[in-house]
Amino acid sequence: MSRPNKITWAEKLFAPFGNLEFFMSRIGKLPINVPSEAKVTIDGPVFTVQGPKGVLSREIHPLASVEKDGERLLVRRADDSRQSRSIHGLFRTLINNMVVGVTRGFTRELLVAGVGYKIEEKENGLVFYVGHSHPIEFPLPEGINARVERQKEIRIILEGYDKELLGLTASRIRSLRPPEPYKGKGIRYADEQIVRKAGKTAA
């Protein structure tokens, strides 16, 4: 005996209004506004955008395409299959990040906490003194800039126009000394919440 299809909470909620897909978010269908300072080039499957911050290029997936409509970009999908729908939303987000990146740029901040920890700025990189037996030199990839602010905690401010590269760089820096849950020492994202644990006490 076959089991009936399970009805989701969303289907129950929107059943009185008709088609569920009408209410579901369709990120891929949203147009992308192109600022006047950005120059867009579409050469077959290769999408390129140039702005004051830099130049980014990306090859578009075969199940998606990009069209220029005046001062807007429209991302199309090949069909309505599940894979096409997921690719549609993904590439709309990626292309929007490229346009925002080359015109306004992105910022990511990290906090460094620990007695004796310090960060030194050097040409094209940073030097970390974070509890290891030796300093760690961290070269910054091209297109990523960093500055260090020293307040109650050391704050590292990363700036770049490639959001993916910026996130990867921040992740690599965090991995040099991940935050520990007892005293909170280590390197963490500025918006990261560390779940603290109680240390062991002597009997």
CA-CA distance, 77 to 72, in Å (whole number)? 17
Q: What is the pLDDT of residues 150-190, one digit of tens each?
A: 888 899 999 999 999 999 999 999 999 999 888 889 999 99
22-103 CATH fold: Outer Surface Protein A; domain 3 (3.90.930)
Class of domain 106-189: alpha beta
pTM of the full structure? 0.81
Where in the chain do CATH 3.90.930.12 domains reside? 22-103, 106-189
Cα separations in angstroms, 56 against 72, 117, 165, 167: 18, 36, 11, 16
Instruction: Check: CB of residue 145 under 8 Å from CB of residue 86.
Output: no
